[in-house]
Chains A and B, each alone.
Chain A
Amino acid sequence: MTDFSRRAVLAGGAALLATPGLAQPRWPARPVQLLCPWAAGGGTDAVLRMIGILLEKELGQPFNVVNRTGGSGVVGHAAISQAQPDGYTLGMITAEICMLHWQGLTEITYRNYTPLSLVNNDAPGVTVNSNSPYRDVKALADAIKASRPGQLKASGTGQGGIWHLALAGWLNAMGLKADHVRWVPSNGAAPAMQDLAAGGLDFTTCSIPEARAMLDANRARALAVMAPARVTAFPAIPTLKEAMGVDYNTGAWRGIAGPPGLPAAVVQTMEVALDKVFKSKEYQDFLLARGFGAVYENAAGFATHLAAADISLGNSMKEAGLAKS
Protein backbone atom coordinates (compact mmCIF):
# COMPACT_ATOMS: atom_id res chain seq x y z
CA MET A 1 0.00 0.00 0.00
CA THR A 2 2.68 2.48 1.03
CA ASP A 3 4.79 1.33 -1.82
CA PHE A 4 1.94 1.93 -4.21
CA SER A 5 1.20 5.45 -2.97
CA ARG A 6 4.86 6.39 -3.01
CA ARG A 7 5.08 5.30 -6.59
CA ALA A 8 1.97 7.31 -7.37
CA VAL A 9 3.49 10.42 -5.81
CA LEU A 10 6.70 9.90 -7.75
CA ALA A 11 4.79 9.42 -10.98
CA GLY A 12 2.72 12.49 -10.24
CA GLY A 13 5.83 14.52 -9.57
CA ALA A 14 7.44 13.34 -12.75
CA ALA A 15 4.36 14.27 -14.70
CA LEU A 16 4.39 17.72 -13.12
CA LEU A 17 8.02 18.21 -14.06
CA ALA A 18 7.39 17.02 -17.56
CA THR A 19 4.63 19.57 -18.10
CA PRO A 20 6.16 22.80 -19.28
CA GLY A 21 4.88 26.11 -18.01
CA LEU A 22 1.47 25.99 -16.40
CA ALA A 23 0.46 22.79 -14.65
CA GLN A 24 -2.29 22.16 -17.20
CA PRO A 25 -3.30 18.53 -17.43
CA ARG A 26 -2.86 16.97 -20.85
CA TRP A 27 -5.96 17.34 -23.07
CA PRO A 28 -8.28 15.44 -22.93
CA ALA A 29 -8.30 14.86 -19.19
CA ARG A 30 -12.06 14.23 -18.99
CA PRO A 31 -14.90 13.24 -21.36
CA VAL A 32 -15.39 15.45 -24.42
CA GLN A 33 -18.81 16.45 -25.70
CA LEU A 34 -19.44 16.31 -29.46
CA LEU A 35 -22.46 18.37 -30.48
CA CYS A 36 -24.45 17.19 -33.48
CA PRO A 37 -26.76 19.82 -35.02
CA TRP A 38 -28.96 17.14 -36.61
CA ALA A 39 -31.24 14.46 -35.17
CA ALA A 40 -30.29 10.97 -34.04
CA GLY A 41 -30.66 8.49 -36.89
CA GLY A 42 -29.57 10.87 -39.65
CA GLY A 43 -26.36 10.75 -41.67
CA THR A 44 -24.52 13.45 -39.68
CA ASP A 45 -25.38 11.66 -36.45
CA ALA A 46 -24.09 8.36 -37.82
CA VAL A 47 -20.78 9.84 -39.03
CA LEU A 48 -20.20 11.74 -35.80
CA ARG A 49 -20.98 8.73 -33.60
CA MET A 50 -18.48 6.65 -35.59
CA ILE A 51 -15.82 9.35 -35.23
CA GLY A 52 -16.63 9.66 -31.52
CA ILE A 53 -15.92 5.98 -30.96
CA LEU A 54 -12.68 6.07 -32.93
CA LEU A 55 -11.50 9.23 -31.14
CA GLU A 56 -12.19 7.55 -27.81
CA LYS A 57 -9.99 4.65 -28.91
CA GLU A 58 -7.30 7.08 -30.05
CA LEU A 59 -7.27 9.55 -27.15
CA GLY A 60 -8.45 7.42 -24.23
CA GLN A 61 -11.36 9.59 -23.08
CA PRO A 62 -15.05 9.17 -23.97
CA PHE A 63 -16.26 11.39 -26.82
CA ASN A 64 -20.01 11.63 -26.21
CA VAL A 65 -22.34 12.65 -29.02
CA VAL A 66 -25.17 14.99 -27.99
CA ASN A 67 -27.88 15.90 -30.51
CA ARG A 68 -28.65 19.61 -30.25
CA THR A 69 -31.21 19.77 -33.04
CA GLY A 70 -33.69 22.12 -34.58
CA GLY A 71 -34.02 25.23 -36.66
CA SER A 72 -32.47 23.67 -39.80
CA GLY A 73 -29.26 23.24 -37.81
CA VAL A 74 -29.09 26.81 -36.48
CA VAL A 75 -29.45 25.79 -32.83
CA GLY A 76 -26.70 23.20 -32.85
CA HIS A 77 -24.29 25.23 -34.97
CA ALA A 78 -24.75 28.20 -32.62
CA ALA A 79 -24.09 25.99 -29.60
CA ILE A 80 -20.78 24.72 -31.02
CA SER A 81 -19.62 28.22 -31.86
CA GLN A 82 -20.60 29.63 -28.46
CA ALA A 83 -19.17 26.80 -26.33
CA GLN A 84 -16.32 27.33 -23.86
CA PRO A 85 -13.10 27.17 -25.92
CA ASP A 86 -11.50 24.66 -23.54
CA GLY A 87 -11.58 21.76 -25.98
CA TYR A 88 -14.25 19.85 -24.07
CA THR A 89 -17.08 20.87 -26.36
CA LEU A 90 -16.51 20.27 -30.05
CA GLY A 91 -18.95 19.36 -32.77
CA MET A 92 -19.74 18.63 -36.37
CA ILE A 93 -20.49 21.48 -38.74
CA THR A 94 -22.22 20.84 -42.05
CA ALA A 95 -22.66 22.63 -45.38
CA GLU A 96 -25.59 24.56 -43.89
CA ILE A 97 -23.16 26.76 -41.92
CA CYS A 98 -22.25 28.42 -45.22
CA MET A 99 -25.94 28.85 -46.13
CA LEU A 100 -27.86 29.88 -43.01
CA HIS A 101 -26.29 33.31 -42.70
CA TRP A 102 -27.07 34.13 -46.33
CA GLN A 103 -30.72 33.43 -45.54
CA GLY A 104 -30.49 35.83 -42.60
CA LEU A 105 -31.28 33.03 -40.12
CA THR A 106 -28.18 33.52 -37.98
CA GLU A 107 -25.25 35.86 -37.57
CA ILE A 108 -22.83 32.96 -37.27
CA THR A 109 -20.58 32.17 -40.24
CA TYR A 110 -17.72 29.73 -40.78
CA ARG A 111 -15.38 32.36 -39.30
CA ASN A 112 -16.89 31.72 -35.85
CA TYR A 113 -15.23 28.30 -35.61
CA THR A 114 -11.85 26.67 -35.27
CA PRO A 115 -11.93 24.18 -38.16
CA LEU A 116 -10.29 20.83 -37.33
CA SER A 117 -10.92 18.58 -40.32
CA LEU A 118 -13.29 17.75 -43.14
CA VAL A 119 -14.33 14.10 -42.95
CA ASN A 120 -17.06 13.38 -45.49
CA ASN A 121 -18.86 14.75 -48.54
CA ASP A 122 -22.04 13.37 -50.12
CA ALA A 123 -22.98 14.38 -53.65
CA PRO A 124 -26.61 14.90 -54.69
CA GLY A 125 -28.19 12.56 -57.19
CA VAL A 126 -31.08 12.87 -59.59
CA THR A 127 -33.57 10.14 -58.74
CA VAL A 128 -36.93 9.30 -60.30
CA ASN A 129 -39.68 6.79 -59.54
CA SER A 130 -38.98 3.43 -61.18
CA ASN A 131 -42.21 3.83 -63.22
CA SER A 132 -41.07 7.21 -64.48
CA PRO A 133 -40.87 7.64 -68.27
CA TYR A 134 -37.44 9.24 -68.01
CA ARG A 135 -34.85 6.57 -68.72
CA ASP A 136 -31.80 8.81 -68.39
CA VAL A 137 -30.98 12.26 -67.14
CA LYS A 138 -30.96 13.69 -70.64
CA ALA A 139 -34.60 12.73 -71.15
CA LEU A 140 -35.52 14.32 -67.83
CA ALA A 141 -33.60 17.48 -68.70
CA ASP A 142 -35.43 17.73 -72.05
CA ALA A 143 -38.76 17.28 -70.25
CA ILE A 144 -37.83 20.01 -67.79
CA LYS A 145 -36.91 22.38 -70.63
CA ALA A 146 -40.20 21.61 -72.39
CA SER A 147 -42.35 22.05 -69.26
CA ARG A 148 -43.97 25.29 -68.19
CA PRO A 149 -42.44 26.87 -65.06
CA GLY A 150 -43.60 25.21 -61.85
CA GLN A 151 -45.17 22.25 -63.65
CA LEU A 152 -42.66 19.62 -62.55
CA LYS A 153 -42.14 19.05 -58.82
CA ALA A 154 -38.98 18.00 -57.02
CA SER A 155 -38.03 17.52 -53.39
CA GLY A 156 -35.32 16.16 -51.09
CA THR A 157 -35.12 18.49 -48.10
CA GLY A 158 -36.61 21.68 -46.67
CA GLN A 159 -36.99 25.07 -48.36
CA GLY A 160 -33.54 26.54 -49.01
CA GLY A 161 -31.77 23.34 -47.94
CA ILE A 162 -28.65 21.99 -49.63
CA TRP A 163 -30.55 19.73 -52.07
CA HIS A 164 -32.84 22.62 -53.01
CA LEU A 165 -29.67 24.52 -53.92
CA ALA A 166 -28.43 21.54 -55.89
CA LEU A 167 -31.59 21.64 -57.99
CA ALA A 168 -31.32 25.40 -58.45
CA GLY A 169 -27.66 25.12 -59.45
CA TRP A 170 -28.38 22.33 -61.93
CA LEU A 171 -31.25 24.28 -63.52
CA ASN A 172 -29.00 27.34 -63.76
CA ALA A 173 -26.28 25.27 -65.41
CA MET A 174 -28.86 24.22 -68.03
CA GLY A 175 -29.69 27.89 -68.63
CA LEU A 176 -33.06 27.77 -66.85
CA LYS A 177 -34.38 29.85 -63.98
CA ALA A 178 -33.83 28.41 -60.51
CA ASP A 179 -37.55 28.00 -59.80
CA HIS A 180 -38.43 26.47 -63.16
CA VAL A 181 -39.06 23.23 -61.28
CA ARG A 182 -41.25 23.76 -58.20
CA TRP A 183 -39.52 22.77 -54.96
CA VAL A 184 -41.71 20.83 -52.51
CA PRO A 185 -40.17 21.31 -49.07
CA SER A 186 -39.92 18.08 -47.10
CA ASN A 187 -38.85 17.17 -43.63
CA GLY A 188 -35.58 15.54 -44.71
CA ALA A 189 -34.72 13.06 -47.44
CA ALA A 190 -36.67 10.05 -46.16
CA PRO A 191 -40.16 11.59 -46.50
CA ALA A 192 -39.19 12.92 -49.93
CA MET A 193 -38.12 9.45 -51.09
CA GLN A 194 -41.36 8.03 -49.67
CA ASP A 195 -43.39 10.61 -51.60
CA LEU A 196 -41.40 9.88 -54.76
CA ALA A 197 -42.27 6.20 -54.43
CA ALA A 198 -45.92 7.09 -53.72
CA GLY A 199 -46.03 8.94 -57.03
CA GLY A 200 -46.31 12.42 -55.57
CA LEU A 201 -43.14 13.88 -57.12
CA ASP A 202 -41.34 13.94 -60.45
CA PHE A 203 -37.81 13.57 -59.08
CA THR A 204 -35.64 14.11 -56.02
CA THR A 205 -32.17 15.59 -55.65
CA CYS A 206 -31.17 14.14 -52.28
CA SER A 207 -27.85 12.31 -51.95
CA ILE A 208 -27.43 8.81 -53.33
CA PRO A 209 -26.91 7.16 -49.91
CA GLU A 210 -30.20 8.70 -48.79
CA ALA A 211 -31.97 7.26 -51.82
CA ARG A 212 -30.13 3.98 -51.60
CA ALA A 213 -32.70 1.68 -50.02
CA MET A 214 -35.37 2.72 -52.53
CA LEU A 215 -32.89 2.11 -55.32
CA ASP A 216 -32.09 -1.34 -53.93
CA ALA A 217 -35.81 -2.07 -53.67
CA ASN A 218 -36.31 -1.10 -57.34
CA ARG A 219 -38.78 1.61 -56.39
CA ALA A 220 -36.58 4.40 -57.65
CA ARG A 221 -33.94 4.89 -60.32
CA ALA A 222 -30.88 7.12 -59.97
CA LEU A 223 -30.19 8.89 -63.26
CA ALA A 224 -27.05 10.82 -62.37
CA VAL A 225 -24.87 12.10 -59.57
CA MET A 226 -23.78 15.75 -59.34
CA ALA A 227 -20.12 15.00 -58.59
CA PRO A 228 -16.84 15.45 -60.46
CA ALA A 229 -16.37 11.67 -60.55
CA ARG A 230 -18.48 8.57 -59.95
CA VAL A 231 -19.01 7.63 -56.28
CA THR A 232 -16.99 4.59 -55.15
CA ALA A 233 -19.94 2.82 -53.58
CA PHE A 234 -22.19 3.36 -56.64
CA PRO A 235 -20.03 2.83 -59.72
CA ALA A 236 -23.04 2.33 -62.03
CA ILE A 237 -24.42 5.85 -61.65
CA PRO A 238 -22.97 8.32 -64.21
CA THR A 239 -22.01 11.88 -63.37
CA LEU A 240 -23.95 14.79 -64.86
CA LYS A 241 -21.02 15.57 -67.11
CA GLU A 242 -20.87 12.04 -68.52
CA ALA A 243 -24.63 11.74 -68.96
CA MET A 244 -25.55 15.13 -70.39
CA GLY A 245 -22.42 17.23 -70.65
CA VAL A 246 -23.42 19.69 -67.93
CA ASP A 247 -20.52 20.21 -65.54
CA TYR A 248 -22.21 21.02 -62.26
CA ASN A 249 -21.38 19.52 -58.89
CA THR A 250 -21.98 20.27 -55.25
CA GLY A 251 -22.33 18.31 -52.04
CA ALA A 252 -23.28 18.11 -48.42
CA TRP A 253 -19.99 18.06 -46.57
CA ARG A 254 -19.37 17.48 -42.90
CA GLY A 255 -16.41 18.39 -40.74
CA ILE A 256 -15.27 18.57 -37.14
CA ALA A 257 -14.83 22.00 -35.61
CA GLY A 258 -14.71 23.77 -32.28
CA PRO A 259 -15.45 27.25 -30.96
CA PRO A 260 -13.02 30.03 -31.95
CA GLY A 261 -9.87 30.33 -29.88
CA LEU A 262 -9.27 26.66 -29.13
CA PRO A 263 -5.90 26.08 -27.40
CA ALA A 264 -3.14 25.13 -29.85
CA ALA A 265 -2.52 21.89 -27.96
CA VAL A 266 -6.12 20.78 -28.56
CA VAL A 267 -5.95 21.65 -32.26
CA GLN A 268 -2.68 19.73 -32.71
CA THR A 269 -3.85 16.68 -30.79
CA MET A 270 -7.16 16.59 -32.65
CA GLU A 271 -5.52 17.06 -36.04
CA VAL A 272 -3.24 14.09 -35.53
CA ALA A 273 -6.03 11.97 -34.05
CA LEU A 274 -8.55 12.83 -36.76
CA ASP A 275 -6.00 12.05 -39.45
CA LYS A 276 -5.53 8.59 -37.95
CA VAL A 277 -9.29 8.15 -37.51
CA PHE A 278 -10.03 9.04 -41.12
CA LYS A 279 -7.41 6.63 -42.42
CA SER A 280 -8.47 3.82 -40.07
CA LYS A 281 -9.96 0.71 -41.60
CA GLU A 282 -13.02 1.05 -39.36
CA TYR A 283 -13.92 4.51 -40.66
CA GLN A 284 -13.29 3.63 -44.30
CA ASP A 285 -15.35 0.44 -43.97
CA PHE A 286 -18.10 2.45 -42.33
CA LEU A 287 -18.20 5.02 -45.15
CA LEU A 288 -18.29 2.29 -47.77
CA ALA A 289 -20.99 0.33 -45.93
CA ARG A 290 -23.24 3.38 -45.70
CA GLY A 291 -22.28 4.66 -49.15
CA PHE A 292 -20.96 7.95 -47.76
CA GLY A 293 -18.32 9.82 -49.75
CA ALA A 294 -14.78 9.73 -48.33
CA VAL A 295 -13.28 13.24 -48.56
CA TYR A 296 -10.61 14.50 -46.20
CA GLU A 297 -8.98 17.84 -45.45
CA ASN A 298 -6.81 18.72 -42.45
CA ALA A 299 -7.39 21.85 -40.37
CA ALA A 300 -5.79 24.24 -42.86
CA GLY A 301 -7.44 22.51 -45.82
CA PHE A 302 -10.82 22.59 -44.12
CA ALA A 303 -10.45 26.34 -43.49
CA THR A 304 -9.74 26.93 -47.21
CA HIS A 305 -12.66 24.68 -48.14
CA LEU A 306 -15.01 26.63 -45.82
CA ALA A 307 -14.03 29.99 -47.33
CA ALA A 308 -14.52 28.70 -50.88
CA ALA A 309 -17.81 26.96 -50.08
CA ASP A 310 -19.17 30.08 -48.41
CA ILE A 311 -18.67 32.09 -51.57
CA SER A 312 -19.94 29.47 -54.01
CA LEU A 313 -23.00 28.52 -51.93
CA GLY A 314 -23.73 32.20 -51.36
CA ASN A 315 -23.64 32.83 -55.11
CA SER A 316 -25.98 29.93 -55.85
CA MET A 317 -28.37 31.14 -53.20
CA LYS A 318 -28.43 34.64 -54.61
CA GLU A 319 -29.08 33.25 -58.09
CA ALA A 320 -31.88 31.08 -56.75
CA GLY A 321 -33.42 34.02 -54.95
CA LEU A 322 -33.00 32.26 -51.60
CA ALA A 323 -30.54 34.70 -50.07
CA LYS A 324 -31.82 37.62 -48.07
CA SER A 325 -30.73 40.82 -49.76
Chain B
Amino acid sequence: MQLSDRITGLFLAGLGLAAAWGGSRLPAVPGQDVGPAAFPMVIGGGLVLCGVMIAFGIGHSFEVPDEDAETGFRFRDLRVLVPPGLLLFYVLAVERLGFMLTAFFIVGTAAVALGARPRLALPLAVGAPIFIHAVFAKLLRVPLADGILPALW
Protein backbone atom coordinates (compact mmCIF):
# COMPACT_ATOMS: atom_id res chain seq x y z
CA MET B 1 0.00 0.00 0.00
CA GLN B 2 2.80 2.41 -0.80
CA LEU B 3 1.09 5.37 -2.44
CA SER B 4 2.57 8.55 -3.78
CA ASP B 5 2.44 11.70 -1.69
CA ARG B 6 0.24 13.22 -4.34
CA ILE B 7 -2.48 10.60 -3.78
CA THR B 8 -2.41 10.63 0.05
CA GLY B 9 -2.22 14.42 0.11
CA LEU B 10 -5.19 14.84 -2.15
CA PHE B 11 -7.11 12.21 -0.21
CA LEU B 12 -6.51 14.13 3.03
CA ALA B 13 -7.52 17.39 1.37
CA GLY B 14 -10.72 15.74 0.15
CA LEU B 15 -11.39 14.34 3.62
CA GLY B 16 -10.84 17.80 5.08
CA LEU B 17 -13.32 19.30 2.65
CA ALA B 18 -15.88 16.63 3.49
CA ALA B 19 -15.38 17.22 7.22
CA ALA B 20 -15.77 20.97 6.86
CA TRP B 21 -18.85 20.55 4.70
CA GLY B 22 -20.37 17.95 7.05
CA GLY B 23 -19.53 20.16 10.02
CA SER B 24 -21.12 23.24 8.50
CA ARG B 25 -24.42 21.40 8.13
CA LEU B 26 -24.69 20.60 11.84
CA PRO B 27 -27.54 22.35 13.62
CA ALA B 28 -26.81 25.27 15.91
CA VAL B 29 -27.54 24.91 19.61
CA PRO B 30 -30.29 27.10 21.07
CA GLY B 31 -28.91 29.61 23.54
CA GLN B 32 -25.26 29.24 22.48
CA ASP B 33 -23.27 31.25 19.96
CA VAL B 34 -20.57 28.65 19.33
CA GLY B 35 -22.11 25.41 18.15
CA PRO B 36 -20.85 21.96 17.17
CA ALA B 37 -19.89 23.14 13.69
CA ALA B 38 -16.88 25.26 14.58
CA PHE B 39 -14.37 22.58 15.48
CA PRO B 40 -14.85 20.21 12.50
CA MET B 41 -14.64 23.20 10.18
CA VAL B 42 -11.34 24.36 11.68
CA ILE B 43 -9.88 20.84 11.46
CA GLY B 44 -11.23 20.32 7.98
CA GLY B 45 -9.59 23.55 6.87
CA GLY B 46 -6.30 22.47 8.44
CA LEU B 47 -6.46 19.11 6.70
CA VAL B 48 -7.09 20.73 3.33
CA LEU B 49 -4.05 22.96 3.85
CA CYS B 50 -1.81 20.07 4.94
CA GLY B 51 -3.11 17.80 2.20
CA VAL B 52 -2.33 20.31 -0.53
CA MET B 53 1.14 20.96 0.90
CA ILE B 54 1.86 17.23 1.00
CA ALA B 55 0.59 16.78 -2.54
CA PHE B 56 3.08 19.43 -3.66
CA GLY B 57 5.88 17.68 -1.84
CA ILE B 58 6.61 20.40 0.73
CA GLY B 59 8.49 19.03 3.71
CA HIS B 60 9.32 15.79 1.91
CA SER B 61 13.04 16.42 2.51
CA PHE B 62 12.63 15.68 6.24
CA GLU B 63 11.55 12.11 5.67
CA VAL B 64 13.76 9.13 6.28
CA PRO B 65 13.45 6.65 3.42
CA ASP B 66 11.78 3.41 4.41
CA GLU B 67 14.33 0.56 4.46
CA ASP B 68 12.00 -2.19 3.40
CA ALA B 69 10.22 -0.16 0.75
CA GLU B 70 9.35 -2.36 -2.15
CA THR B 71 7.38 -1.52 -5.22
CA GLY B 72 4.94 -3.47 -7.30
CA PHE B 73 2.03 -5.54 -6.18
CA ARG B 74 2.20 -9.27 -5.58
CA PHE B 75 -0.74 -11.49 -4.89
CA ARG B 76 0.72 -12.71 -1.60
CA ASP B 77 0.64 -9.13 -0.32
CA LEU B 78 -3.08 -9.63 0.23
CA ARG B 79 -2.07 -11.58 3.33
CA VAL B 80 -1.75 -8.21 4.99
CA LEU B 81 -5.54 -8.22 5.31
CA VAL B 82 -5.53 -11.41 7.39
CA PRO B 83 -5.30 -9.70 10.84
CA PRO B 84 -8.19 -7.25 10.35
CA GLY B 85 -10.12 -10.05 8.68
CA LEU B 86 -9.64 -12.25 11.73
CA LEU B 87 -10.90 -9.45 13.98
CA LEU B 88 -13.99 -9.14 11.81
CA PHE B 89 -14.43 -12.90 12.07
CA TYR B 90 -14.23 -12.61 15.86
CA VAL B 91 -17.01 -9.99 15.88
CA LEU B 92 -19.27 -12.08 13.67
CA ALA B 93 -18.62 -15.52 15.10
CA VAL B 94 -17.91 -15.28 18.81
CA GLU B 95 -21.51 -15.09 19.97
CA ARG B 96 -22.49 -18.15 17.96
CA LEU B 97 -19.39 -20.35 18.09
CA GLY B 98 -18.26 -19.31 21.53
CA PHE B 99 -14.88 -17.95 22.57
CA MET B 100 -12.95 -21.23 22.52
CA LEU B 101 -13.69 -22.27 18.93
CA THR B 102 -13.37 -18.74 17.54
CA ALA B 103 -10.05 -18.21 19.28
CA PHE B 104 -8.80 -21.62 18.10
CA PHE B 105 -9.55 -20.64 14.52
CA ILE B 106 -8.02 -17.16 14.83
CA VAL B 107 -4.74 -18.29 16.37
CA GLY B 108 -4.45 -21.25 14.00
CA THR B 109 -5.07 -19.18 10.87
CA ALA B 110 -2.73 -16.39 11.90
CA ALA B 111 0.03 -18.87 12.73
CA VAL B 112 -0.30 -20.68 9.40
CA ALA B 113 -0.40 -17.38 7.53
CA LEU B 114 2.87 -16.44 9.22
CA GLY B 115 4.43 -19.68 8.04
CA ALA B 116 4.24 -21.81 11.18
CA ARG B 117 4.35 -25.58 10.72
CA PRO B 118 1.37 -27.58 12.01
CA ARG B 119 3.63 -28.88 14.80
CA LEU B 120 3.73 -25.35 16.20
CA ALA B 121 0.38 -23.98 14.99
CA LEU B 122 -1.83 -26.73 16.42
CA PRO B 123 -0.64 -26.77 20.04
CA LEU B 124 -0.58 -22.97 19.96
CA ALA B 125 -4.16 -22.76 18.70
CA VAL B 126 -5.31 -25.11 21.45
CA GLY B 127 -3.20 -23.72 24.28
CA ALA B 128 -3.45 -19.95 23.79
CA PRO B 129 -7.29 -19.74 23.98
CA ILE B 130 -7.32 -21.82 27.17
CA PHE B 131 -4.71 -19.60 28.79
CA ILE B 132 -6.37 -16.34 27.69
CA HIS B 133 -9.79 -17.58 28.78
CA ALA B 134 -8.36 -18.38 32.19
CA VAL B 135 -6.88 -14.89 32.59
CA PHE B 136 -9.82 -12.89 31.23
CA ALA B 137 -12.88 -14.86 32.28
CA LYS B 138 -11.62 -16.00 35.67
CA LEU B 139 -9.14 -13.37 36.88
CA LEU B 140 -10.68 -10.30 35.21
CA ARG B 141 -14.27 -11.56 35.09
CA VAL B 142 -14.83 -10.56 31.49
CA PRO B 143 -17.97 -12.29 30.17
CA LEU B 144 -16.65 -14.35 27.23
CA ALA B 145 -19.32 -16.15 25.21
CA ASP B 146 -19.70 -19.90 25.79
CA GLY B 147 -21.23 -20.79 22.43
CA ILE B 148 -21.27 -24.43 21.45
CA LEU B 149 -18.07 -25.34 23.27
CA PRO B 150 -18.06 -23.91 26.79
CA ALA B 151 -14.84 -23.84 28.77
CA LEU B 152 -14.34 -26.87 30.97
CA TRP B 153 -14.11 -24.86 34.20
Q: Please state if A62 and B141 are interface contacts (CB–CB under 8 Å).
A: yes
Give complex CA distance A305, B23 in Å: 39
Give complex CA distance A319, B57 in Å: 55
Q: Per a CB cutoff under 8 Å, which of B31, B32, B141 touches A31?
A: B141
Give complex CA distance A66, B144 in Å: 13
Q: Does B65 contact A (CB under 8 A)?
A: no
Give complex CA distance A211, B141 in Å: 33
Number of A-B contacts (CB under 8 A): 18
Within the complex, what minimum Cβ distance (angstroms) separates B96 from chain A?
A: 13
A130 cross-chain contacts in B, Cβ below 8 A: none
B141 cross-chain contacts in A, Cβ below 8 A: 31, 62, 64
Within the complex, what minimum Cβ distance (angstroms) separates A187 from chain B?
A: 14
Closest residue of B by beta carbon distance from A180: B31
Q: Please state if A183 and B31 are interface contacts (CB–CB under 8 Å).
A: yes
Give complex CA distance A178, B143 in Å: 45
A30-55 CB mask vs B (1 if < 8 Å, else 0) is 01010000000000000000000000
B30 cross-chain contacts in A, Cβ below 8 A: 179, 321-322
Q: Does A219 contact B (CB under 8 A)?
A: no
Q: Chain B: how many interface residues by the 8 Å CB criterion?
A: 6
- Looking at B30, B31, B32, B143, which has the most chain A CB atoms within 10 Å of its CB? B31
Q: Please state if B29 and A31 are interface contacts (CB–CB under 8 Å).
A: no
Give complex CA distance A183, B31 in Å: 8
A159 cross-chain contacts in B, Cβ below 8 A: 29, 32
Within the complex, what minimum Cβ distance (angstroms) separates B115 from chain A?
A: 38
- Residues 59-76 of B contacting A (Cβ, < 8 Å): none
- Residues 15-29 of B contacting A (Cβ, < 8 Å): 29
Give complex CA distance A74, B143 in Å: 22
A150-194 CB mask vs B (1 if < 8 Å, else 0) is 000000000100000000000000000011001100000000000
Give complex CA distance A75, B115 in Å: 41
- Residues 114-153 of B contacting A (Cβ, < 8 Å): 141, 143
Q: Please state if A182 and B31 are interface contacts (CB–CB under 8 Å).
A: yes
Give complex CA distance A179, B31 in Å: 6
Closest residue of A by beta carbon distance from B29: A159
B29 cross-chain contacts in A, Cβ below 8 A: 159
Closest residue of B by beta carbon distance from A89: B143
B17-56 CB mask vs A (1 if < 8 Å, else 0) is 0000000000001111000000000000000000000000
Within the complex, what minimum Cβ distance (angstroms) separates A61 from chain B?
A: 12
Closest residue of A by beta carbon distance from B137: A31
Q: Please state if A64 and B31 are interface contacts (CB–CB under 8 Å).
A: no
Q: Please state if B143 and A64 are interface contacts (CB–CB under 8 Å).
A: yes
B32 cross-chain contacts in A, Cβ below 8 A: 159, 183
The 5 nearest A-B residue pairs measured at CB: A179-B31, A321-B30, A64-B141, A33-B143, A159-B29
